[in-house]
């Protein structure tokens, strides 16, 4: 049974604390453990409140709220997506989140989620690939080598044992950055001059670009039989990465169809085009990959249950880590009916 936080004190995890926590646990261990929480919550998909995220779009980007509840806890994330930010030295994506007790309505955790989102996105990609990627896959191409790319590589190494990485970005300096960051983790890394060359020989292709436009990062002729595509970058209306013909050749797996049809690669397809839900694969209700020549596509847009899993995992780790601050966030009058009196007493 859930219980309210103690009085007015709410644990807060800052960016600095999050980084220290991840490094203390170990990046690969953190990703493995987080993936277990994500998979556990997908398996109990039917208990969650589900709704497409609440989005406010502008010419420059989007600001979104992503809420869900399992009946005991309520979680939400505030997140933006502004591709132009990178040109000004800002993050394309920033986020923070809250986990609350349903019984009292009291928040139990407030945390940065820019880093945590990168970790949970990568962990979700690898969890999906565990069910959808070719058996004994060893090589992944990453198209788009920005802020998410290293997290994807680390998650696929930790969870699937992927050791060979082929990198491409339209900005060679970004590819150099990615390769340098991954150099100490035991990968065999090939920096490729084109997306076509990056895809050659890859068992898995991850697309994780940032521009808010209908883009064609992968064309139909680049995708051979038997490959798994992890499409991460198409995550809002008007933003895609794959040529439509690739979708028509693939078995498409999604998190939550009502959201993915608005934001994912499948916004290019008719609204009744058949897709498969990832949670049903994890519970065994439907098959994932069924043969070696099948093209599987995880049309990943990110869903609130994944953030909920991340918040739940973080709260459990904080019980023994100490990587938190205590915020005086909630009013706590001696008499719950005397909030005004509490205000007046602050004059003393």
Distance CA 208, CA 142 (A): 7
**235 catalytic per annotation:** yes
Are residues 175 and 145 in contact, defined by beta-carbon separation less than 8 angstroms? yes
**SS3 annotation, the chain:** CCCCCCCCEEEEECHHHHHHHHHHHCHHHHHHHHHHHHHHHHHCHHHCCCCCCEEEECCCCEEEEEEEECCCEEEEEEEEECHHHHHHCCCCCCEEEEEEECCCCCEEEEEECHHHHHHHHHHHHHHHHHHHCCCCCCEEEEECCCCCHHHHHHHHHHHHCCCEEEEECCCHHHHHHHHHHHHHHCCEEEECCCHHHHHCCCCEEEECCCCCCEEEEECHHHCCCCCEEEECCCCECCEEEECHHHHHHCEEEECCHHHHHHHCHHHHCCCCCCCEEHHHHHCCCCCCCCCCCCCEEEECCCCHHHHHHHHHHHHHHHHHHCCCEEEECCCCCCCCCCHHHHHHHCCC
Of 41, 203, 235, 299, which residue is the catalytic one?
A: 235
Separation CA 183–CA 269 (nearest Å): 39
How far is residue 23 from each of residues 133, 154, 319, 323, measured CA to CA in Å?
A: 28, 13, 17, 11
The count of other CB atoms within 10 Å of the CB of residue 27 is 17
Active site residues: 235
């Amino acid at each position: 049974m859930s219980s309210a936080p103690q009085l007015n004190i709410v644990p807060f995890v800052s960016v600095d604390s999050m980084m220290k926590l991840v490094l203390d646990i170990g990046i690969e261990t953190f990703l493995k453990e987080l993936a277990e929480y994500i998979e556990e919550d997908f398996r109990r998909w039917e208990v969650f409140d589900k709704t497409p995220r609440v989005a406010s779009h502008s010419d420059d980007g989007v600001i979104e709220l992503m809420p869900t509840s399992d009946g005991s806890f309520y979680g939400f994330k505030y997140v933006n997506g502004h591709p132009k930010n990178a040109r000004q030295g800002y993050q394309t994506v920033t986020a923070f989140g809250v986990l609350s007790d349903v019984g009292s309505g009291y928040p139990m955790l407030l945390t940065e989620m820019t880093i945590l989102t990168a970790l949970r996105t990568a962990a979700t990609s690898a969890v999906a690939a565990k069910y959808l990627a070719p058996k004994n896959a060893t090589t992944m191409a990453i198209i788009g080598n920005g802020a998410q790319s290293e997290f994807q590589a680390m998650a696929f190494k930790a969870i699937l044992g992927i050791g060979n990485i082929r990198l491409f970005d339209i900005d060679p300096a970004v590819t150099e950055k990615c390769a340098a960051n991954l150099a100490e983790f035991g990968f065999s890394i090939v920096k490729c001059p084109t997306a076509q060359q990056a895809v050659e020989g890859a068992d898995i292709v991850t697309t994780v670009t940032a521009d808010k436009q209908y883009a064609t990062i992968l064309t139909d002729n680049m995708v051979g039989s038997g490959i798994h595509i992890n499409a991460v970058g198409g995550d809002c209306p008007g933003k895609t990465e794959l040529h439509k013909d690739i979708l028509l050749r693939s078995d498409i797996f999604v998190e939550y169809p009502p959201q993915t049809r608005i934001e994912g690669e499948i916004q290019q397809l008719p609204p009744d085009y058949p897709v498969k839900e990832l949670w049903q694969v994890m519970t065994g209700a439907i098959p994932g990959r069924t043969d070696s020549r099948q093209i599987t596509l995880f049309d990943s847009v990110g869903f609130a249950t994944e953030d909920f899993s991340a918040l739940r995992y973080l709260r459990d780790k904080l019980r023994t880590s100490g990587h938190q601050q205590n915020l005086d966030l909630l009013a706590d009058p001696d008499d719950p009916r005397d909030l005004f009196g509490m205000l007046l007493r602050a004059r003393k």
